[in-house]
Amino acid sequence: MTLNERRCKAKLNNIFLNDNKPVSFEQYDKANKNQLKVIKKLQKRVKAEQKRKNQLASQLKRSLKQVEELKQQQNTKEEMNI
C-alpha cells in the first residue's frame, strides 16, 4: 500500500458527520451518491430555466422587430397620405 493510499484510507476512517459520529465508507458513499443525485436534479432545473429564458428572449426580440416593422408601415402610410 502506497503512502497516498494510506492517507486516503486514514481520511476515510476519520470522516465525521455533523453530530461527530464516525461514518463508514458505505455511509459516506451513500451520502455522496445522494448529493450527486441532488446536483443532477439542480443542473436539470437550471438547464430548463435557461432554455425558457432564451425562448422568452427570442420571443421578445421577435415582438420588438414586429413593432418596429409596424411603425415603419405606419410612417410610410402617413407619408403617402401627405
Residues 56 and 62: their CA atoms lie apart, in Å, by 10
- pLDDT the model gives residue 25: 83
Residue 31 has, within 13 A of its CA and on its CB side, a CA count of: 10
This prediction's pTM: 0.55
- The residues, any chain, with a CB within 8 Å of residue 31's CB and separated by 6 or more, are 23
- pLDDT the model gives residue 37: 93
How wide is the angle at C-alpha 65 spanned by C-alphas 76 and 55, nearest 5°?
A: 165
pLDDT single digits (tens) 17-76: 455 566 688 888 888 999 999 999 999 999 999 999 999 999 999 999 999 999 999 988
- pLDDT the model gives residue 8: 57
Contact 22, 16 (CB under 8 A): yes
